[in-house]
Amino acid sequence: MHPNELLSISDFSKLSEVSRKTLIYYDRIGLFKPAFVADNGYRYYSHSQFETIGVIHIFKELGMSLEEIQQHLGERSPETTLQLLRKQEENLQLQIAKLTRAKQMIIQRAENIEQSMHLDTSQMHVIWQAKTPLLLSRRIYSSKKEFPEELWEDFRVRLNKEHAPLGYPNGVIIPKDDLLKQDGDMISHMYCYMTTKHYKQEYMPEGFYLVSYARADYGDTEKIYPQIFDYIERKQYIIKGNAYEDYMQDEIVIQQADDYLVRVMVHIEEPKDSHPLGG
């Protein structure tokens, strides 16, 4: 094969977007050799080698070591290549799932912050909330001030199985029975707004919700509820379901814990004279 029919290392480097230094290194370790080496030591590559260098690049991007790639190329066959490609397909699907969850987390946090910057947090109001998918923790019955460590661990495992990052915004559910007793301290679940694949899909029911905001640290939100119960009584609202408590601004946004912005949404029957906002 004559050099005139081939590409110089500079041309091959430019077209393949792999540096000359990397091509020389690949040649030295025996991973990817030029098609022809002239007497003067100049390296030349064939057009067909673009496919091989492309696959090496993809495998490297997917986390394979150069040693693993070299071993495969040295033993390659239709069977081993198919097996490797299927394995990398699975790895890629896992990475896509994790990146999708990370994107959802970023969008949700950004929307929370943006929405909270334009709210009148001193006022309560009623909204109509559509049915919303949730990932729930296992059921518990615990005070917020005595938040069990095993619940955090359980929820961390569930997030991990759903390929969601630990920084995913979460909240707690206050059961209806406790709300009816005017108690806002006890919780039944942790939750995230999320469609699930590995766990049973749960939902925040559609309907009317009384929404209230307050500045409070984690575990210090029971002080919010007396004014919520007073408002419900004054407006003659009827509690229909649970309350959902989450943070619009937390430690990611605010430096002082007492300034975190918590949102409480209490599921109520349709108010007689309400004009709810969209939720």
From first to last of the 279 residues of the chain, give the pLDDT tens digit.
555 679 999 999 999 999 999 999 999 999 999 999 998 999 999 999 999 999 898 888 888 899 999 988 888 888 988 988 898 899 889 889 899 999 988 998 888 888 888 888 888 999 999 999 999 999 999 998 888 888 888 999 999 999 998 788 899 999 999 999 999 999 999 999 999 999 999 999 999 999 999 998 887 888 889 999 999 999 999 999 999 999 988 888 888 988 899 999 999 999 987 666 655
Query: What is the model's pLDDT at position 3?
Result: 56
Question: For position 228, what pLDDT does the model report?
Answer: 96
Tell me which residue of 115, 102, 153 sits closest to 247, measured CA to CA.
Answer: 115
Q: If we measure between CA atoms, which residue out of 142, 160, 161 comes closest to residue 151?
A: 142
* Predicted TM-score (pTM) of this structure: 0.75
| C-beta separation of 45 from 26 below 8 A | no
Cβ contacts of 147 within 8 Å, gap of 6 or more: 219
239 with 260: CB under 8 angstroms?
Answer: no
Say how far apart CA 163 and CA 169 lie, in whole Å. 14
Q: Which residues contact 18 (CB under 8 A, 6 or more apart)?
A: 12, 53, 57
Q: Which 8-state DSSP code applies to residue 35?
A: S
Q: From the CB of residue 228, how many other CB atoms can be counted at a distance below 10 Å? A: 20
Question: Are 15 and 7 spatial neighbours (Cβ–Cβ below 8 Å)?
Answer: yes
